[in-house]
Amino acid sequence: MYTNRFSRVGFILAAAGSAVGLGNIWKFPYITGENGGGVFVFVYLLTVILIGLSIFIAEVLVGSSTNQDSVTSFETLSPKGKKYWKYSGFTFLTGIIILSFYSIVVGWILNYVVIALTNLPQNSAEAESVFMTMLKDDIFTQLFYYTLAFLIIAYTISKGVKKGIEKLNNYLMPTLIMILIIMFFYSMSLSGFTKALEFMFYPNIEKFHASSIIIAVGHAFFTLSIGMATILSYSASLDRNINIVKASITIVSLDTLIAIVAGIIIFSVVFTAGQEPSQGPGLVFVTLPAIFYEMGIIGNIMAIAFFVALAFAAITSAISVLEPTVMYLVERKKISRKKATYGISFIFYILGIFALLSNTNSFSEILTFGTKNLFDWFDFITAAILMPLGGILLAVFVGYVMDKQQIRNKLVPLMGEKFFKLWLILIRYVAPISVFFIMLNETGLLKL
């Protein structure tokens, strides 16, 4: 049984750190820009409440009910004759694949912290050249920052829950929030602030399509780190007297608030510069650096603050993805934490090198399979198949397999009978069906 436990604040900050990642500060703003602003935000908030929160509570429920690794948790909570459900706990393997490409992006961000400190590109053309040169040609720079990201992640996990994960999040998450608050108040002074609010909250039906609903559902699901045993493993290190429903609501609310605040900040800067909000993934690495340069010394300060915040968010998420695998090896296989951490980290590090090289001009041909290179395949397999599958398995297990009286005894005192019945409907029907449609859409089997 896991004895190295989070404090209440430590759990909230660690789980929020897991949820708050590139999805909030990088992806959410640009998909909002591409899918109609306010109406997309409304659908996103609705799906966070109905789908994201319901599965999040289910995952915390499983972890906190056993205080064990994910495989043992499913095995322990399975009725007699259904112990095969323990294999659902192996969804933590998704995290190894995610880390192999996510850590590369963490490395990009660390590189951009240095760029913000030293030499911001002067216009969009130069900014695009800087990013593409790093991505396609500068293997050494990418490897250096990727290795730095790997060392930060591995070292933190090796120190354990209290001295590693909780301690890091106790510093990084409050700092991240403080940076965003300062940037938000500054963005209020910009001429584009009002337009940013209008864009974020005023419905633009013309840009909203049926596919936008699936995108909103998918992002609400993925941004909360659901479906890869991360939240389950964190919850296993949770003290039994903590109200898991209140903690879940706090974490999901914080995650969502940060996404919205980040969107307002970014769009305030974009609109002030007279740029368009629908600029895809390049919004952060190409458009914003050039805009920050045009803002002078204030822009330099904002660029540093923005990329430091982005780095903090990315690192806390990356750390959380590694913990479930390490916890399994420590608890189930009785391997020391240091050996488990560095052994697994070495695997994702090697995989990541191949993924990194697949983006470069020198190696792209030999590391491209079909229409995607290795980096894109890792992204596709985890986002389109493994994470949705993990979410469906979790929802079905809690909704249909786990002892209902046990669930009732745990949750009714925390949420009341009416909300429990609503939650049960969501976890049994709405969540798994919705996530199944995400899988169909992401794999291209459903065309809207």
Asked if the structure places residue 161 within a domain, the reply is yes
At 50, which CATH number?
1.10.4160.10
Asked if the structure places residue 163 within a domain, the reply is yes
pTM: 0.92
Structure tokens at 299: 């822009």
Q: Where are the alpha helices (DSSP H) in 295-365?
A: 297-331, 337-357
The number of distinct structural domains making up the chain is 1
Confidence (pLDDT) at 53:
94
Nearest to 70 by CA among 53, 58, 86, 52: 86
Asked if the structure places residue 377 within a domain, the reply is yes
Structure tokens at 323: 């913990």
Structure tokens at 98: 């995610």
Confidence (pLDDT) at 2:
47
Confidence (pLDDT) at 161:
81
Parent domain of 84:
8-442
- Cβ within 8 Å of residue 278, ≥6 positions away: 30, 33, 34, 207
Q: How far apart are CA 373 and CA 18, in angstroms?
A: 27
User: What's the maximum distance between 2 C-alpha atoms anywhere in the chain?
Assistant: 67
Say which residue the tokens 């933590």 belong to.
92
Q: Where are the alpha helices (DSSP H) in 67-138?
A: 70-77, 93-118, 124-136
Confidence (pLDDT) at 280:
62
Asked if the structure places residue 3 within a domain, the reply is no
Structure tokens at 361: 């001009």
Q: How far apart are CA 227 and CA 396, in angstroms?
A: 12
Asked if the structure places residue 447 within a domain, the reply is no
Nearest to 338 by CA among 165, 89, 152, 156: 156
- Cβ within 8 Å of residue 143, ≥6 positions away: 353, 356
Quick one: which H or E segment has residue 22?
helix 22-22
Q: What angle do CA 178, 182, 185 make, to 5 degrees?
A: 140
3-state class of 352 per DSSP?
A: helix
Asked if the structure places residue 2 within a domain, the reply is no
Q: How far apart are CA 280 and CA 277, in angstroms?
A: 8
Q: Judging by beta carbons within 10 Å of its beta carbon (0-12, 13-18, 19+), is residue 46 exposed, middle or buried? A: middle
Q: How far apart are CA 138 and CA 21, in angstroms?
A: 25
Nearest to 263 by CA among 324, 348, 200, 174: 200
Confidence (pLDDT) at 448:
62
Asked if the structure places residue 215 within a domain, the reply is yes
User: Average pLDDT for consecutive 10-residue bins of the chain (448 residues)?
Assistant: 66 81 78 84 90 94 93 95 94 93 94 93 91 95 96 93 86 91 93 92 83 82 85 86 91 91 90 77 82 90 92 90 93 94 95 96 95 93 90 96 95 96 96 90 78
Asked if the structure places residue 344 within a domain, the reply is yes
